[in-house]
Amino acid sequence: MTTLPLRGVRVLDVSTVIAAPLAAMILGDLGAEVVKIEHPEHGDPARHHGYDRDGVPLWWLMLGRNKKSVTLHLGTEDGQGIFRTLAADADVVVENFRPGTMERWGLGYAELSAANPGLVLAHVSGFGRTGPLAGEPGFGTMGETMSGFAFRNGDPDAEPHLPPFGLADGVTGISTALGIMTALYERAASGRGQEVDLSIIEPLLTVLEPQLVTQDQLGRTLQRTGNSAEMNAPRGMYRTRDGSWVALSASTASTAGRVVTLMGAPELADEPWFAHANGRRAHAEDIDAVVVPWFAARTAEEATVACRTAGVPVAPVHSAADILDDPQYAAIGAIGTFEHPALGPIRMPDVLFRLSRTPGAVRSLGAALGEHTDDVLGAAGVSAERLAELRRRGVV
């Protein structure tokens, strides 16, 4: 196998749904050895989220992939002692307890880094580790509402809309992985670890374009615009003759010019306002008066072929079934097929990005709860007799 880019990096994932475990999954996909620490009785709640097939939790197969499952009750002195032993030989710890919990257990950065100065400790929390909400519980929904996403998502005359999935969690997980790798890169020069601190309410602020600087400088609150864009046109989803939907986006004047030319109104491109995004957005209704009937007169396939021939960016509105059959996703390797001992071949998103020389790999799917406890703790010096005793007392 090609050398994995994070080979030799050891990660302790002591987090639960969703953002922090996703960050650890990404590190594992890139070759890190990820040891998932789970409560002996319940494990990660993600094991019980979503659908299952024949009793196998499907989402866990992805979120828990490339991880070794070790059960350990961190609320006990014995569990805390074993964790300190594991952390002394780790490169990264990822946790998402309420701020102060790890410190209360004697597992804060001061204690762990005293034995391991190179340790990177990543904290993911609902609201951050300081401030009036630091101690409050928080999930992705808080990030989607407090960031302004829900306020801007939906139709102008309707209520704000939450996404039907963990958007804030997903963006936070990817951001946390980036923060960890940045800290590891810096450690290569300094030899010292550090803490990575990220709240779920933060990352979407960066994704949501210039809403804050617009508010700060102009006092203008960006509003819900449905499928159109606040700063550009044409952009939206258009219904075709066969009842399908096709998305179109033209973010440059040249692309927008190709749109109106294809759709029979090249004279619009000669208008003074057409040369700039703000001008086109101000005249979005004029442009849509051409675009909407053009799509309505064609099937989705006819419209897509015509647009792509003319260099106009379009895409179908895919369901999950469409994604699994899409030749473009197949061609770029975005969807991988992996073998499960009970369920057989399983398709899911592959490694997040592709490196040309040292690509990552999905080497295993989500493990059974505690599947690797004896191996990992045995390698850390815990004897078989001691393991049996700890198991009787519910520590592992």
Please write the tens of the pLDDT for every residue from 22-40.
999 999 999 999 999 999 9
**Residue 144 confidence (pLDDT) above 80:** yes
In this predicted structure, the answer to whether residue 10 has a pLDDT above a threshold of 90 is yes
Asked whether 351 and 360 are in contact (CB, 8 A), the reply is yes
User: What's the confidence (pLDDT) of residue 153?
Assistant: 95
pLDDT for the residue numbered 132:
96
Q: How many helices (H) and strands (E) does the chain have?
A: 18, 13
Return mean pLDDT, the chain.
96
Torsion of CA 35, 39, 44, 45, to 10 degrees: 180
**Cα separation, 97 vs 93, whole angstroms:** 12
Average pLDDT over residues 245-270: 96
Q: From the candidates 13, 29, 169, 350, give the one annotated as an active-site residue.
A: 169
Q: Which domains does the chain have, with CATH numbers?
A: 10-206+331-392 (3.40.50.10540), 235-316 (3.30.1540.10)
Average pLDDT over residues 281-285: 95
Q: What is the pLDDT of residue 4?
A: 96
Residue 71 clears pLDDT 80, i.e. is over it: yes
- Contacting residues for 232 by C-beta, under 8 A, at least 6 apart: 249, 250, 251, 277, 280, 281
Is it the case that residue 383 has pLDDT exceeding 70?
A: yes
* Lowest mean pLDDT across 68-82, 170-184, 226-240, 289-303: 226-240
Nearest Cα neighbor of 33 from 11, 2, 53 is: 11
Over residues 214-237, the mean pLDDT reads: 93
Whether residue 341 is predicted with pLDDT greater than 80 in this model: the reply is: yes
Sign of CA dihedral 19, 20, 22, 27: positive
- Whether pLDDT at 390 is above 60: yes
Count CB-CB contacts under 10 A for residue 99: 21
Mean pLDDT across the stretch 41-63? 94
As given in the structure block, the two tokens for residue 243 are 């009842």
Which pLDDT score is estimated for 230?
85
198 CA to centre of own chain:
14
Environment class of residue 158 by beta-carbon count within 10 Å: exposed (0-12), middle (13-18) or buried (19+)?
exposed
Please give the DSSP secondary-structure letter assigned to residue 373. Answer: H
**Active-site residue 169, yes or no?**
yes
Q: What percent of the chain has pLDDT over 90?
A: 96
How far is the C-alpha of 180 from the C-alpha of 199, rounded, in Å? 14
- Does the pLDDT value for residue 213 go beyond 70? yes
Model confidence at 3, pLDDT cuts 50, 70, 90, reads confident
**C-alpha count within 13 angstroms, C-beta hemisphere, residue 59:** 14
Dihedral sign for Cα 298, 301, 305, 307, please.
Answer: positive
Q: Which residue has the higher pLDDT, 232 or 305?
A: 305
d(CA 137, CA 129) in angstroms, rounded, equals 12
* The pLDDT value given to residue 60: 97
- pLDDT tier at 1, thresholds 50, 70, 90: low
In this prediction, residue 348 carries a pLDDT of 98
Residue 368 has pLDDT above 80, yes or no: yes
- Amino acid type, 193: G
Considering the chain, what percentage of its residues have pLDDT values greater than 70? 99
- Angstrom distance (rounded) from CA 246 to CA 264: 19
pTM (2 decimals)? 0.95
